[in-house]
Amino acid sequence: MRKGLVIVNTGNGKGKTTAALGVLFRAWGRGMNVAVIQFIKHATGNWGEIKAAKKLQIDWQAMGDGFTWLSKDLDATAQKTRDAWALAQAKIASGQFDIVILDEMTYALKYGWIDVHEVIAWLNEHKPPQLHLIITGRDAPPELIAFADLVTEMREIKHPYTQGIKAQPGVEF
């Protein structure tokens, strides 16, 4: 039985986005079509994963402005996440993809920039039954967890930042 799953990777630990990239790698190996939409990461970021996606011609859109707790213009950030969701809706409804990854979308839900109930209602109506959807980010709202088929919490047990070790290229970005 082939069934499109709604997958949520949440929690305060590493591996939420990275596990979504692992699914992308695995699915690409099977010749499946994957689209990635990043809600927070900046369009000009030249991370390892973006380099890889370019080399493999994977559909990848970074729509964010690099929002952090230092951001000043939250209205602009909020609008960018709404634009990302509009693009996600187009990709999901297009029927062209086997897997769509909505990276760091939970932040937009958490801050109310996108309404979680509207997202779920839209997905119920428009998500193709066989499409797998992966949503990542901390603090996934309970409504999303209730809606999802597969939810994993990535929990931080030990982190090198606390030992003064900086993020390492290739591993973390």
Site for a second copy, rule CB under 8 A:
1-3, 5, 7, 9-11, 13-15, 17-30, 32, 47-55, 98-99, 132, 145, 148-160, 163, 165-166, 168-171, 173
Query: What 3-state DSSP class applies to 61?
Result: strand
Nearest approach, Cβ of residue 126 and a second copy (Å): 20
Residue 148 structure tokens:
């999802």
Is residue 26 part of the annotated active site? The answer reads: yes
Considering the candidates 10, 17, 81, 106, report the single residue annotated as catalytic: 17
User: How far apart, in whole angstroms, are the C-alpha atoms of residue 99 and residue 43?
Assistant: 21
Return the bridge partners of 138, or none.
none
Is residue 67 part of the annotated active site? The answer reads: yes
As a residue count, the chain comes to 173
Is residue 68 part of the annotated active site? The answer reads: no
- Decide whether 50 or 77 has the Cβ nearer to a second copy: 50
Task: Find out whether 85 and 119 touch, Cβ atoms under 8 Å.
Answer: yes
Task: Find out whether 24 and 48 touch, Cβ atoms under 8 Å.
Answer: no
| 58 phi, psi to nearest 5 deg | -85, 140
Nearest approach, Cβ of residue 137 and a second copy (Å): 14
Is residue 17 part of the annotated active site? The answer reads: yes
Is residue 2 part of the annotated active site? The answer reads: no
Positions marked active-site: 12, 14, 16-18, 26, 67, 69, 104
